[in-house]
Structure 1
């Protein structure tokens, strides 16, 4: 509501005394006061009503009007039932401070002025809310018709002057109808590292807003960059950006392929590749990918509150080409076509996201033919286990860091590996459970120390004779001889298979 609208209300009969050039100011609320200095009770944009009880002489007018001007009020409406007219010094003070002044007739109560203005403000805000809801319907209609987010952002820019862009945490631009005068990667870094959201960037004068902060980890979410300072937006504009965020969340969910036919096919392919069945090639042909192209396997797990589905989203964002990604429990497996040197690129891409990835371990296999995907998955898993043992928020281990015996173990069927491990170690595990003898740990330490009785005893804080007794018990329970290289190798491999 503008100050000018006060002059169009016949019930009030207000007269503009001075400040006609400020009649286009907005009225945010109405306040009645008889204090000489009411500034601490004002926040700006008010129409102040006063009966001049504070006035005792010409000097009071300047103090009162200056307090109103400092507070940023829109205008002053005054009436003096005792003197019948406004003091000339009050008119002069309003003129000097560029404050619009209205005279209230003696027979018009301040309550009547307040009632009419508040009713007008409520009607205007209801109309603004209706406009917001109408725009919301337009936005939803555009999304439903599959036109994407660009037409929606164009609507906001055209109707409200709001310039917005939608980006991923890697800095990939999803939508935007204007050139973005800022580095998208830098914006993504600010989004990931911001202590709280929304977050204002004073340099480029942008505000960063999350899309689904309450339901999605920041590193798996999209974000909206809007021109301007969000703290200065009116309530209606903030409500509209909340609606926009909800709609962007719908578009993000629509683009998530987990429930699509292609996503379900990727999940099934990953399951088949990990199990080593013969049905991989027929399913691979259904995806439209060339089965003659080598695939690189990636195994990843995450902590720090990142859910498996969100881990899958992160991998889909950073991996090249058309990766086939599935979940096996809390582990994400990706099969990436034509990616011969993937580990360094994946390490660099995930490092960019490290502010939002407190704990992620990934392993990368060497390229393998479509018929050898099971071995590639196992190799990636071994590399991921090695990465898990390392420190840092993001750890990526490539196949070139694996020892040769790990490559051998990756090609052995699961049932064979399980049988091998159980035959060698189960007698020791059972004995440890019954007698608390710590034979498995003793065996592992003995092999790590290359069969040295002394060094093994030092590591375990035991007497050498105690170590000899435990090794003898291991040999008795398993029928193996730890002085023989072949038996030591078998035990070493069995321990690696745990």
Structure 2
């Protein structure tokens, strides 16, 4: 509201003493103070009310007004109850600083002025917000998406001074500062939310949407010294009728403000904002239909053991859609995920969640993030991830050959141009799932070697572990990179095996990669429980019992010895022991178990027993 409107409100009893030329200043709040220096409590554009208790001498007026001017307040209103007429030195100081000064008659309480100002400001901001909603709705109806959610966030910031972001359930910034990593344009300006704050916000959102809430009121989270209000962005799909069902594909709106004191009208208008953002979410979801269909067709061909030539033909169709303008056949990678829980048996929610994970540029890179094709089959979700083809080393054929020249490449014009057999490493499944050469210039997202299970897990573990419903687990496995259609079936099986390895681990969100399938890690999860217990008890029970009675720490010493590859000096150094003490402990272990730690077989048995325990 304007100062002029306050002066024209007769019930407030305001009388202008100086500053007539500044009456068009806007008022965004009100503060009552009698401190000599209230500067640290002012944020600008307030109407300051004072009873003049701070005023003791004429020289007090100048410093007080200077503080208010520096803080950028809209005006000063002085009560006449304490000193009668407002002191002339205060009037002169306000005139010198260009600060409007009002006198408040003795029969008008400051509470009356405060209530009027706050009510008017609230109504005006609600009206401004209504205009924001209406402007964005017109933009959307007249031009498709209207620029997406970034447009409405820009309007919230410019018109209402509200800092806001749209986040996903994994903490990905969908819109707002930080949505485009490294962008410095006017649209992307502003302070991004730190990774840890986004993770906590996503976890809080998931936790609150699991149970029905009253209306569309926001949820609050105070973290990092700031308070954020969280508004769910829900579409009109049938799954939204069941609490928690749509949460795994929802976005949510974050506003850096405390919405608990907002009037109902303003909350209604914020709900309108979320509905507009939901339209954009559904538009983007619909845009993935073609990619989902391509992934479904490829998966069906793999399940029916279709000939590689038929799969290659389908991949030739998929490549331009997933990586337009690539110019050569991409490499492919497969990610398999499963969401176990009573609500997630059909795989659709898992597909939505896997899409969201792979949309994060931290996991797949900004160039690939929105080109992944994901489908679902039974209770699992399967993602087909395209990666640009790597140049292959020349083996005496002259120059280099790109991915189109790899064996069974999807768009290879002539099979006779395939690279020599020595250039292709056979996997356990008889495919060409060969690791790519190392990335000479690593950067964000996947390198030439493709996606990494640890990177995927790091991006989503915190919000999902804290926010998924009790009894729900997410596990996923990542295959190696393949360069041809003939390798895709092996990649799918590889990803499924890796997911089973992840499922055997403790934790609500677990992942495993193809590199783990070439070690004992692949075998241990599938050892039957009775065999596991018998094996570990036979080897380790005597040591546990001895440690319990004597506090000898034989088990930790054994584990450290094996971790040091049997090196006496390295193990003693890590344990801060004398080598003779270490030798004594190892001798006691051999005596209790009847094993010889100089024999490779006995070392291996102990190693596996510790891993199984």
TM-score range, shorter chain: 0.5 to 0.7
Q: Secondary structure at the match of 2:381?
A: strand
Are the aligned partners of 1:218 and 1:356 in contact in 2 as well (CA < 8 Å)? no
The CA deviation string for residues 217-247 of structure 1, in whole angstroms up to 9 with x for no partner, is 9996667788xx6469995998677654553
Question: Once the 2 structures are TM-superposed, how far is the Cα of residue 210 of structure 1 from its aligned partner?
Answer: 5.5
Are the aligned partners of 1:265 and 1:287 in contact in 2 as well (CA < 8 Å)? no
Q: 2: CA distance between counterparts of 1:238 and 1:176?
A: 32
The CA deviation string for residues 337-365 of structure 1, in whole angstroms up to 9 with x for no partner, is 45765565343243233332436533233
Structure 1's 230 and 216: CA in aligned 2 closer, same or farther, altered over 3 A? Answer: farther
Q: 1:133 aligns with which of 118, 122, 130?
A: 130
Q: Secondary structure at the match of 1:353?
A: helix
Question: Once the 2 structures are TM-superposed, how far is the Cα of residue 372 of structure 1 from its aligned partner?
Answer: 6.3
Q: 1:275 aligns with which of 282, 288, 303?
A: 303
Are the aligned partners of 2:315 and 2:485 in contact in 1 as well (CA < 8 Å)? no
Match of 2:459 in 1: 352
Are the aligned partners of 2:503 and 2:510 in contact in 1 as well (CA < 8 Å)? no
Q: 1:327 aligns with which of 376, 380, 386?
A: 376
Match of 2:475 in 1: 361
Question: Once the 2 structures are TM-superposed, how far is the Cα of residue 128 of structure 1 from its aligned partner?
Answer: 3.8
**Worse-superposed segment, 130-139 or 316-325:** 316-325
Question: Residues 277-316 of structure 1 correspond to what in structure 2 (within 5 A)?
Answer: 278=306, 281=310, 285=314, 288-289=317-318, 295-301=332-338, 308=350, 309-316=352-359
Q: 1: CA distance between counterparts of 2:20 and 2:459?
A: 57
Q: 1: CA distance between counterparts of 2:2 and 2:167?
A: 38
TM-score normalised over the length of structure 2:
0.46
Question: Residues 396-407 of structure 1 correspond to what in structure 2 (within 5 A)?
Answer: 396-398=512-514, 401-402=517-518
Are the aligned partners of 1:17 and 1:102 in contact in 2 as well (CA < 8 Å)? yes
Match of 1:15 in 2: 15
Asked whether 1:386 is paired with 2:387, we answer no
Are the aligned partners of 2:233 and 2:274 in contact in 1 as well (CA < 8 Å)? no
**Worse-superposed segment, 206-215 or 321-330:** 206-215
Q: 1: CA distance between counterparts of 2:253 and 2:186?
A: 14
Question: Once the 2 structures are TM-superposed, how far is the Cα of residue 332 of structure 1 from its aligned partner?
Answer: 2.0
Match of 1:370 in 2: 485
Structure 1's 103 and 375: CA in aligned 2 closer, same or farther, altered over 3 A? Answer: closer
Match of 1:192 in 2: 199
Q: Secondary structure at the match of 2:337?
A: strand
Q: Secondary structure at the match of 1:354?
A: helix
Q: Secondary structure at the match of 1:289?
A: helix
Q: 2: CA distance between counterparts of 1:27 and 1:441?
A: 67
Question: Residues 140-179 of structure 1 correspond to what in structure 2 (within 5 A)?
Answer: 140-144=137-141, 145-149=144-148, 150-156=150-156, 159=159, 169=172, 172-173=179-180, 178=186
Are the aligned partners of 2:387 and 2:450 in contact in 1 as well (CA < 8 Å)? no
Are the aligned partners of 1:379 and 1:399 in contact in 2 as well (CA < 8 Å)? no
Match of 1:102 in 2: 103
Question: Once the 2 structures are TM-superposed, how far is the Cα of residue 251 of structure 1 from its aligned partner?
Answer: 1.9
Are the aligned partners of 1:30 and 1:118 in contact in 2 as well (CA < 8 Å)? no
Q: 2:285 aligns with which of 250, 253, 256?
A: 256
Q: 2: CA distance between counterparts of 1:457 and 1:103?
A: 90
Q: 2: CA distance between counterparts of 1:183 and 1:29?
A: 27
Are the aligned partners of 1:209 and 1:225 in contact in 2 as well (CA < 8 Å)? yes
Q: 2: CA distance between counterparts of 1:183 and 1:8?
A: 40
Are the aligned partners of 2:16 and 2:101 in contact in 1 as well (CA < 8 Å)? yes
Q: 1: CA distance between counterparts of 2:223 and 2:254?
A: 9
TM-score normalised over the length of structure 1:
0.54
Q: Secondary structure at the match of 1:350?
A: helix
Question: Once the 2 structures are TM-superposed, how far is the Cα of residue 398 of structure 1 from its aligned partner?
Answer: 0.7
Structure 1's 153 and 279: CA in aligned 2 closer, same or farther, altered over 3 A? Answer: farther
Q: 2: CA distance between counterparts of 1:118 and 1:193?
A: 36
Question: Once the 2 structures are TM-superposed, how far is the Cα of residue 21 of structure 1 from its aligned partner?
Answer: 8.6
Q: 2: CA distance between counterparts of 1:336 and 1:233?
A: 43
Question: Once the 2 structures are TM-superposed, how far is the Cα of residue 249 of structure 1 from its aligned partner?
Answer: 4.0
Structure 1's 27 and 274: CA in aligned 2 closer, same or farther, altered over 3 A? Answer: closer
Are the aligned partners of 1:166 and 1:173 in contact in 2 as well (CA < 8 Å)? no
Structure 1's 122 and 283: CA in aligned 2 closer, same or farther, altered over 3 A? Answer: farther
Q: How many residues align?
A: 399
Question: Once the 2 structures are TM-superposed, how far is the Cα of residue 136 of structure 1 from its aligned partner?
Answer: 0.2
Are the aligned partners of 2:453 and 2:511 in contact in 1 as well (CA < 8 Å)? no
The CA deviation string for residues 243-285 of structure 1, in whole angstroms up to 9 with x for no partner, is 5455334323321248734434534543x25633549947973
Q: 2: CA distance between counterparts of 1:364 and 1:165?
A: 31
**Worse-superposed segment, 366-375 or 354-363:** 366-375
**Unaligned 5+ residue runs, structure 2?**
205-219, 235-243, 321-328, 389-434, 437-448, 466-472, 543-613
Are the aligned partners of 1:343 and 1:396 in contact in 2 as well (CA < 8 Å)? no
Question: Once the 2 structures are TM-superposed, how far is the Cα of residue 193 of structure 1 from its aligned partner?
Answer: 4.2
Question: Once the 2 structures are TM-superposed, how far is the Cα of residue 79 of structure 1 from its aligned partner?
Answer: 6.9
